[in-house]
Amino acid sequence: MLIPALDLIDGNVVRLQQGDFARQTTFASDPLPLVQAYQGAGAQYLHLVDLDGARDPAKRQTELLRRISASTTMTVQVGGGLRSRQDLEQLFDAGVKRAVIGSLAVKQPHLVQAWLNDYGADAIVLALDVNIAADGKAYVATHGWQETSNLTLNQLIDSFAADGLRHVLCTDISRDGMLSGSNIALYAELKRRYPQLIVQASGGIASLDDLRQLQAVQCDAAILGKALLTGKFTLEEALACWPAA
């Protein structure tokens, strides 16, 4: 599946390079026309990142998320500073179908494990952002990519296996927002080691060939952000080479 993505700050659609707020580009002052365009093109899923909520949960754009969810039949998943059960309930009450959990999976794994058990595996997506070390191992980063943990990607996924983890959104930080191509080897290894997971590839996708390569290694989904916003290809073109299952 192809999942168009919109990052939101103060109601605007933006993109950050490698998570750096100092390298922000604004693409639209209203996300709703883009949401409708993506649905019209045939998308069945939508990924939203509430960057205001990521910086300060008290500033979560809940009403905007509610309006977006109400405006579309796409399955909406949202990430950005989710730290408590109340945060999740707020999202689900706003019509969001999946909560995307990042740093908390490293810092408070028992809490996230409880959510997987309480809400079900289809309601939780682990967003595991990684730095690739010199030895080739992928280490999970936290706190908006400002810190790198001692946990490898495989170690973290293994720690959630008993709780029915199903959805993993994995981003190679070095490629995010750079349009430099996807880290195909990373996703190939993930699918080889964890065939039961639904893996969402994120970061660097810049061409239709990137999508074909992801399909070739059995990756389940691709997050499309900057490539769509900058016109590298259209969602219709992408869906034509990666039709819905």
Structural domains in the chain (count)? 1
Q: State pLDDT tens for residues 37-63.
A: 999 999 999 999 999 999 998 899 999
Q: State pLDDT tens for residues 140-187.
A: 987 655 666 788 999 999 999 999 999 999 998 876 555 667 899 999
Q: What is the mean pLDDT of residues 115-119?
A: 97
Residue 163 a catalytic site member: no
Six-digit token string for 170? 């994995």
Catalytic residue among 7, 52, 87, 220: 7
Q: What is the CATH number of the domain that holds 187?
A: 3.20.20.70
Structural domain boundaries, residue 202: 2-241
Task: Say what the pLDDT of residue 24 is.
Answer: 86
d(C-alpha 172, C-alpha 4), whole Å: 17
Q: Could you count the other beta carbons within 10 Å of the beta carbon of residue 64?
A: 19
Q: State pLDDT tens for residues 5-33.
A: 999 999 999 988 766 778 889 999 999 99
d(C-alpha 95, C-alpha 231), whole Å: 29
Catalytic residue among 50, 87, 129, 172: 129
Residue 220 a catalytic site member: no
